[in-house]
Chain A
Amino acid sequence: MAEEESQFEEFEQIDFLRDRHVRFFQRTLQVLPERYASLETTRLTIIFFALSGLDVLDALDMIDRNMMIEWIYSLQVLPTEDQSNLSRCGFRGSSHIGIPYTTKGPGVLHPYDSGHVAMTYTGLCSLLILGDDLSRVNKQACLAGLRALQLEDGSFYAVPEGSENDIRFIYCAASICYMLDDWSGMDIQKAIDYIRGSLSYDNGFGQGAGRESHGGWTYCAIASLCLMGRLEEALSQRELDRIRRWCIMRQQSGFHGRPNKPVDTCYSFWVGATLELLDVFQYTNFDRNRSFILSTQDRLVGGFAKWPDSHPDPLHAYLGLCGLSLIGEPSLRKVHPALNITQRAFQHLQQLQQTWRDSSGSCLRQH
């Protein structure tokens, strides 16, 4: 420990408190107080932040994997006997609708039960992180549910009953297709058209055409194109250089999400990962980025906040870690910048996909 301490003296004793973060995520996975009520419908994303956070910390061994896997599968919206709800399949964010707990099909018919694209995305990621083989995922149903969400303009709704539609859900859809190794879930060209249409005059991406460019939406745009394998087809070299410039100008100490806005820990990942996908993250200032992220570390309860002296939360805790991982913080696993899971979990996915391709001649078990 003494050796590490002397190395950190230059950085005003900002040391990375690994164990605190491990405990932060472990507590997140247990019980949250009522003031977190607004997270009810998105609980599956919170699980993803905690599990992926523990994975980045290489601390998954203390998790009861099977228990978690069962709970996640209980959130799958499965086809009913007569398959009349296929366009509503995917994963729910939580049990808030009141479907009785089950991990098996067939699905229960309920007038208001449907998946949510971001929950399908984080559900699949979480299963992969836990080492599951996705054999109980009804892939065809998920893809049918996904197709039902895409609009004419190429963007996606979050849920089949309708919601706002924008580039975030294109990213979720692209990630789902990528993980399931099946792009029949979306019209890629239309999605690319929407992404291109979201490119702002200042060379960042907004949530849709005409809207203000923003680090989060820029990540969704670039990561989606990378997952689709269409980055250089969709954007010219000149455009890519301009986008690189917009992104790299976001660094102030850490990163902010829009010009003239304050820096915020999560953009160390959103913008950092985008820069990594564009091969220029290496030209950012690692030291100042690191100093900022660590200044938002909560030394008592663990986790990271968006700003110094603020309350930590699972999203910033997770993305703060990912930001540190991008700059090579020792003891953190590397993160796949487009899929936003560890390289370890990504390799598990690659192996799974290989077995799917190898056995593609035979009947695949559906669920």
Chain B
Amino acid sequence: MAQAIKLTNDLTMSGVEETLNETVEVKEDNEFDGEVEDHPVDDYMADPTRYVFYRDRKDWADLEPVPQDDGPSPVVKIAYSEKFSDVYDYFRALLKNDERSERAFALTADAIELNAANYTVWHYRRVLLQALAKDLREEMRYITAIIEEQPKNYQVWHHRRMVVEWLNDPSEELEFIADILSQDAKNYHAWQHRQWVIQEYKLWESELEFVENLLEEDVRNNSAWNQRHFVISHTTGFSDAGVLDREIQYCLNQIRKAPHNESAWNYLKGMLQDRGLSTQPGLLEKVLELKETHCSPYLLAFLFDCYEDSLESSSQKENIDEEEQKISLKKALEICELLAQDKDTIRKEYWLFLGRSLKAKYGGGDGGTDALSEDPEASVPTSEPQELN
């Protein structure tokens, strides 16, 4: 029975994990228990389905197996079965001699089946693929099957990329990745590989459509929103007014369908934050309308950012409109208060801090706009450390 275990793979490239953490199904080895003890090599011909240790195979008799040597006091020692040790003892022997042969190539498949996260095995397999001029199309079929089984392993995706590069043929990639994404639409490895293929081979054409379909299925898929930004920034760009307008409308439509969606708001803000958040014609009004019926912490944060942007740009003008500034500041502080006390209370301290900072920067001497109930002397943005009780 397969066991789900957690693999620890944050800063390393091995392990069958999506970036930092995911569960993976790993075979238990009990299916091999008790089968291989009493089967001398003669029986191999009688029943070719019986597993034979490498140490009992005639065609491997010339090679001296190399055991793993952890010294007198091993730490975090993994207790391998006989079958596992046997395969890897012979793998180590091949490596030592840098043997380039068909039998070596065949063994790498066994080693991979036991541990697909061993990057040395994959590297050695690539050496053999080239040294033996193996059929790379067949290798594509092989790696396709492995990734389908273990889609959150770094080594398998890297291997696929190498084979695609050698073949200089990306023609299967978009469909393959789409299939992997249909099983997990946020698989980071899959998206990364997809971006590489598209950028390397200039396969931009249908990608926006692909993204839109995914967003139809799940408008909260942050990976798809990221891909949308990736495609547009590398094709039309966002500087074109028509494109920008289209994208703003797209965001607002998605927000109307699903208001509580950070991804859509991040995309909207991301596009506009360096293009004048507060100066997009009609946008502030639309957002204020949405506030009545489709409110969310993200909407309010966006409003705050608009007011802050308008304070910043107006403060840089030759003739500062003080009345306008006061109004923007007041509105911004009201938003902070609303977020802190009601709409985003988990970030209460942060919103209060932002309010204090804004007030310190733009408040002038007027205490009348102080919508905050915090200590008015706290113009320096600090806070008491929270205490655990």
Contact = CB atoms under 8 A, between A and B. Distances in A.
Contacts of A99: 69
A201 B282 CA distance: 22
Given A37-B84, A212-B223, A216-B20, A98 B7 contact: no
A202 B267 CA distance: 7
Given A158-B13, A163-B158, A313-B6, A213 B26 contact: no
B11 A45 contact: yes
A251 B297 CA distance: 13
B195 to A, nearest CB: 6
B116 to A, nearest CB: 7
Contacts of B76: 28-30, 32, 39, 43, 46-47, 50
Interface in A73-105: 74, 93-101
Nearest to B122: A163
A163 B229 CA distance: 27
A211 B192 contact: yes
Contacts of B105: none
Q: Which of B75, B78, B93 counts the most A-chain CB atoms under 10 A from its CB?
A: B75
B83 to A, nearest CB: 10
Classify chain B's interface size: 35 or more
B386 to A, nearest CB: 5
A98 B68 contact: yes
Nearest to A92: B120
B388 A327 contact: yes
A314 B8 contact: yes
Nearest to A35: B26
B220 to A, nearest CB: 4
B6 A311 contact: yes
A38 B26 contact: yes
A104 B349 CA distance: 54
Interface string A85-129: 000000001111111110000000011100010110110000000
Interface string A115-150: 010110110000000000000000000000000000
A58 B235 CA distance: 55
Interface in A1-48: 7, 10, 28-43, 45-47
A32 B75 CA distance: 10
Interface in A168-211: 168-169, 171-172, 200-203, 206-208, 210-211
B75 A47 contact: yes
Q: Which of A29, A45, A93 counts the most B-chain CB atoms under 10 A from its CB?
A: A45
Given A257-B20, A282-B349, A41 B8 contact: no
Interface in A313-348: 313-316, 319, 327-330
A205 B273 CA distance: 16
Contact of B79 (A29, A31, A162): A31
Interface string B13-49: 1111001110110111100000000000000000000
A308 B201 CA distance: 43
Nearest to A304: B6
Contact of A164 (B92, B98, B158): B158
A46 to B, nearest CB: 5
Contact of B261 (A94, A116, A260, A319): A260
A242 B273 contact: yes
Contacts of B80: 34, 37
B229 A201 contact: yes
Nearest to B155: A163
Given A101-B70, A112-B123, A212-B191, A45 B8 contact: yes
A36 B84 CA distance: 12
A285 B150 CA distance: 37
Contact of B88 (A64, A96, A163): A96
Contacts of A242: 273
A101 to B, nearest CB: 4
A35 B12 contact: no
Contacts of B23: 310-311
Interface string A36-71: 111111110111011000000000000010011011
A316 B348 CA distance: 28
Q: Which of A171, A201, A258 counts the most B-chain CB atoms under 10 A from its CB?
A: A201
A49 B195 CA distance: 33
Interface residues of A, number: 110
A315 B11 CA distance: 10
B253 to A, nearest CB: 18
B71 A101 contact: yes
Contacts of A283: 347, 349-350, 353, 383
A309 to B, nearest CB: 12
B191 A211 contact: yes
A248 B81 CA distance: 46
Contacts of B14: 38-42, 93
B226 A96 contact: no
A296 to B, nearest CB: 11
Q: Which of A49, A200, A249 counts the most B-chain CB atoms under 10 A from its CB?
A: A249
B328 interface: no
Contact of B92 (A42, A46, A97): A97
B349 A95 contact: no
A284 interface: yes
Nearest to B150: A38
B54 interface: no
Nearest to A265: B21
Nearest to A172: B11
Interface in B264-287: 266-267, 269-271, 273
A249 B270 CA distance: 15
A74 B78 CA distance: 17
Interface in B203-218: none
Contact of B188 (A37, A116, A207, A328): A207
A123 to B, nearest CB: 12
Given A39-B78, A47-B75, A315 B10 contact: yes
Interface of B: 3-16, 19-21, 23-24, 26-29, 66-81, 84, 88, 92-93, 95-96, 98, 114-120, 123-124, 154, 157-158, 186, 188, 191-192, 195, 199, 220-223, 226, 229-230, 233-234, 261-263, 266-267, 269-271, 273, 301, 346-350, 353, 383, 385-389
Given A41-B117, A210-B230, 13 more contacts: A10-B389, A32-B78, A32-B79, A35-B5, A35-B29, A36-B78, A42-B9, A96-B88, A121-B11, A210-B199, A260-B261, A315-B6, A319-B10
By Cβ-Cβ distance, the 9 closest A-B pairs, closest first, are: A201-B270, A313-B6, A315-B8, A98-B92, A101-B71, A283-B350, A202-B266, A283-B349, A38-B117
5 contacts: A34-B84, A38-B116, A98-B96, A211-B192, A261-B222
